[in-house]
Amino acid sequence: MAPVSQLQRSTNGKPNLVVLHPGRSISGYPFNIAKYRESYHDFFRLAQKKSAVFYVRTGASRYLGNGVFSHGYQFTGDKLVPYRHPIAAAVMYNKARFPHNSGAMWQIVNPWKLYGITYDKFGCYQLLKQYMKPTYRVTSRKTFVRSLQKIKTAWVVWKPVFGSEGRGIKIGPKSLIRRRIKRYDGLLQEFIDTSDGVPGVCKGLHDMRILLMNGRIVQSYVRQPRKGSYLANVAQGGRMLEIRKNQIPRRARAIAQRIDERFFNYFGPRIYAIDFGFERGKPYLFEINPQPGLPYRQWPLYYRAWHHELLNTLLSSIR
């Protein structure tokens, strides 16, 4: 396509901010969930004070290259309305695992290379293994049996190599996992016993999330599983408790800062969450999520600050 000028990446003197989601329908996820729809619209209202806000479904709009989409929606008059002209981004908020990195005149947050290292759970382990329990890549029944023998804990965790929201994860005694696994393509990991809770925060099974934007801690909360489950993800029925930044245990905060120092060198502008589990007071990294969901209005501790930090992170990345 023809070159796109910096002027074309703005509308009425404001830089074009493009929010990307997968799918084709404007009413699909996340807008089919009222709490998410409210949060996005609150963010759009804030963002339009400093930018021109556009919304694109990557399955409906053609990508023309160079940060430009064939059409989409513009947030105007307090609602999203069809925009049937090319949209040239100054910055994109990538919620679609859009397989591109930033260009010379436009920025994408998060870039594809960040998705590549975090969505691949074994790749993430290889990068950050000093903060994690031993993890083994399984590709056959032979490697499954060999890896199971290496694990020192009585219980083990089975994970898909790619995935989110706790889907495909199995936790239990070695004998149970051996019977339940039919397809030998995934990860085996030593079990983290989180039953003692987070020091000074909560008791019992949990995971704790620290969400960072360009190295700044923007939100933290603890999720605890429903009775009878070991999966704390809200999507799996877990309960969420927001915690203040000064409640985050010092050791977990230090690990988060060291991880972000590495990510700054690799990725530049970045938005992601780090999930920890504490075993006898020591934090272990569960995984890194490059697509943390926007907060609900019902989570008041960080709601407004989250939106402001998101806007600042996106606009500060513009070249």
Residues 230, 277 share a domain: yes
Tokens 């759009």 -> residue = 44
What mean pLDDT is predicted for residues 125-134? 95
Residues 148, 102 share a domain: no
Classify residue 127: in a domain, yes or no. no
pLDDT at 6: 82
Which of 190, 208, 238 is the last residue before a domain boundary? 190
Residues 174, 202 share a domain: no
- Running DSSP on this structure, what letter comes out for residue 6? T
What mean pLDDT is predicted for residues 185-205? 93
Separation of alpha carbons 223 and 207, rounded Å: 5
- Band of residue 33 on the pLDDT scale cut at 50, 70, 90: very high
Which of 190, 207, 230 is the last residue before a domain boundary? 190
Residues 142, 53 share a domain: no
What mean pLDDT is predicted for residues 91-105? 93
What mean pLDDT is predicted for residues 195-223? 94
Classify residue 125: in a domain, yes or no. no
Classify residue 126: in a domain, yes or no. no
**Domains contained in the chain, number:** 3
What CATH number did the domain enclosing 145 receive? 3.30.1490
Kindly give the residue spans of alpha helices, DSSP state H, lying in the chain.
Answer: 34-47, 112-119, 121-128, 141-150, 174-180, 250-267, 303-316
Residue 231 reports pLDDT greater than 80: no
Q: Rounded to the nearest 10 degrees, how much is the dihedral formed by the CA atoms of 89, 95, 96, 100?
A: 50
pLDDT at 29: 95
Residues 75, 11 share a domain: yes
Classify residue 151: in a domain, yes or no. yes
- Running DSSP on this structure, what letter comes out for residue 221? E
Report the sign of the C-alpha dihedral through residues 103, 272, 311, 75, in that order: positive
Which of 146, 165, 190 is the last residue before a domain boundary? 190
Residues 142-194: tens digit of each pLDDT: 999 999 999 999 999 999 988 666 678 889 999 999 998 988 999 999 999 99
Domain that holds residue 270: 116-120+194-305
What mean pLDDT is predicted for residues 301-314? 96
pLDDT at 149: 94
- Band of residue 284 on the pLDDT scale cut at 50, 70, 90: very high
Classify residue 1: in a domain, yes or no. no
Classify residue 43: in a domain, yes or no. yes
Residues 54, 42 share a domain: yes
pLDDT at 306: 97
Tokens 């030593």 -> residue = 190
Residues 186, 198 share a domain: no
Cβ of 117: how many Cβ atoms within 10 Å? 17
Residues 184, 268 share a domain: no
Looking at per-residue pLDDT, the higher value among 119 and 252 belongs to 252
What mean pLDDT is predicted for residues 59-84? 96
Classify residue 69: in a domain, yes or no. yes
Q: What strand order describes the sheet that includes 68-69? A: 63-65, 68-69, 87-88
- Band of residue 2 on the pLDDT scale cut at 50, 70, 90: low
What CATH number did the domain enclosing 268 receive? 3.30.470.20
Residue 50 reports pLDDT greater than 70: yes
Residues 99, 72 share a domain: yes
Residues 208, 181 share a domain: no
Classify residue 98: in a domain, yes or no. yes
Q: What is the pTM of this model?
A: 0.90
- Running DSSP on this structure, what letter comes out for residue 53? E
- Running DSSP on this structure, what letter comes out for residue 142? H
Residues 281, 231 share a domain: yes
